[in-house]
Amino acid sequence: METMNPVFQLLSESEIPVVLELMREFYAQTHMTLNESVATATLKKMLADPSKGELYLIFRGSDLAGYFVLTWCFSLEFHGTFALLDELYIRTQHRRQRLGKAVVAFAESACKKAGIKALRLETGDDNEAAQRLYSGAGMKKDERFLFTKWL
């Protein structure tokens, strides 16, 4: 197994097409629907206003291994601002190389430096590998269900 440390590169607008390629892969594997024009507009909004969040490309050496998004939310329950690890995608050939563990550690460190008290995320019931990763990082499954209604 390769021991090279990952590099996390903050997204720039010129790299949006690269992220869209990764999003196509991720969404296809998780059976989500990707609207590329909406995704592009949303990425541009986030880049224009860093208070919304940050997207990082994950590199292992010169190989683009994936991406992740940290967004900022506000909640009384979580003592103010909390972070949401909104998307984490690692390309198949780069899995099982501890990249997910490095992403979670990076996200935790960024949150602590910013004074953020909670890091949240969601994953599918069928994604056992992700559940093991998050449990191994000390995260606990909430007792409540997350509901969504598109407006």
- What confidence tens digit (pLDDT) does each residue in 33-46 have? 999 999 999 999 99
Altogether, the residues listed in the chain come to a count of: 151
- How high is the mean pLDDT of the chain? 93
Query: To which H or E segment does residue 36 belong?
Result: helix 36-48
Domains and CATH numbers, the chain: 6-136 (3.40.630.30)
Please answer whether residues 67 and 58 qualify as being in contact, where contact means their C-beta atoms are separated by less than 8 angstroms: yes
Task: Quote the pLDDT of residue 76.
Answer: 94
Task: Quote the pLDDT of residue 3.
Answer: 57
pLDDT tens, the chain, 151 aa long: 455 789 999 999 999 999 999 999 999 999 899 999 999 999 999 999 999 999 999 999 999 999 999 999 999 999 999 999 999 999 999 999 999 999 999 999 999 999 999 999 988 888 898 899 999 999 999 888 888 888 9
SS3 74: strand
Q: Is the pTM of this model over 0.85?
A: yes
CA angle 83, 84, 90 (to 5 degrees): 125
